[in-house]
Structure 1
């Protein structure tokens, strides 16, 4: 396995980058997650657009304050050069109501030469599930 996950990506390094991201997001630690992004990283998450690590950390803190028992699975969809696309789903319980949800989506990632993500575009759909319908 390559020790550095830098573009241009191979299948091996793209899969490792996806697993690295999955592990970081499942930690629910905004500081840890933000380290994978460039200082000026640009995000589109659903209908929100923002830029920079400080904004990423703020977004994640707010997200995880309302998403209890968050668990995520990411899968490599495609890769080329300095770009990776993933399909994902995650399950979580709404903090205020206790309602369980499953969220499905796709992300497109673009990396700088240092292997930091400089752009992330995410489309997500949520739907309510019963607790016994959970997969994760």
Structure 2
């Protein structure tokens, strides 16, 4: 089990990793070794995530989310496969932690007294300007 928050932990079987050739650092090694990691996590069907967290996670994923609800995270900044695996997993865990935070409640605000007065003053000026335009001397 991978701990994410106090309430949420992921089962390792829910995460699928594939290794591909990286385009980053590695010298000649880069042409021989598949050090980049592509991590796949099914956010829509995961039994570990509560529904509200799953929905927020899918919104947070943006372009990393497929139409099937699978999040794909790629890591290829390091030379070693192990460090790339750790980085991809850390990205996923951080994304889930962010989604686990409930959005703040919206508190409706009222316009201040000063802003009301400024609005009415500008309306009055505009009204006066238009009145002066319509009056024609005969």
TM range (shorter): under 0.3
- Greater gyration radius: 2
Task: Give the structure with the higher percent helix.
Answer: 2
Query: Under a length normalisation based on structure 2, what TM-score does the superposition of the two structures give?
Result: 0.24
Task: Give the structure with the higher percent strand.
Answer: 1
Structure of greater relative contact order (alpha carbons < 8 Å, 6+ residues apart): 1
